[in-house]
Amino acid sequence: MTSDALSASRLPPAVTVTVRYFASIREAVGQGGETISVQAGTVGALRDALIARGGAWAESLARGRAVRTALDQVLCGEDAALADGAEVAFFPPVTGG
């Protein structure tokens, strides 16, 4: 097996997911959601793929920024596994007073 084939075999399979953006993240990226196909096995890997787009995605989803995530409408950590057809939401933490 070639090194390219080995690298490809380590990539997670592509999944189609619906991504939702809320509050300041939605304002930054200019849309409330989208459906994308991505090679990401976890919510964290999806976040990294979106950050790699650059621009507003890189800024609003940057590592070090407080961003909450939900998978199929349940709060989750970035280690949550993605499945084809999943819905992932990104939103800033809510503060109240």
What's the pLDDT at 7? 53
Report if residue 37 sits inside a domain: yes
Q: Quick: pLDDT tens for 49-91.
A: 999 999 999 999 999 999 999 999 999 999 999 999 999 999 9
Report if residue 7 sits inside a domain: no
**Residue 38 CB neighbour total at 10 angstroms:** 17
Overall number of domains in the chain? 1
Decide if pLDDT at 1 tops 60.
Answer: no
Give the CATH number for residue 52: 3.10.20.30
Domain of residue 57 covers 18-91
Residue 95: CB partners within 8 Å, gap ≥ 6? none
DSSP per residue, the chain: --HHHHHHHHSPPEEEEEEEE-HHHHHHHT-SEEEEEEE-SBHHHHHHHHHTT-HHHHHHS-TTS--EEEETTEEE-TTPBP-TT-EEEEEPPP---
Three state DSSP letters for 66-84: CCEEEECCEEECCCCECCC
Whole-prediction pTM value?
0.86
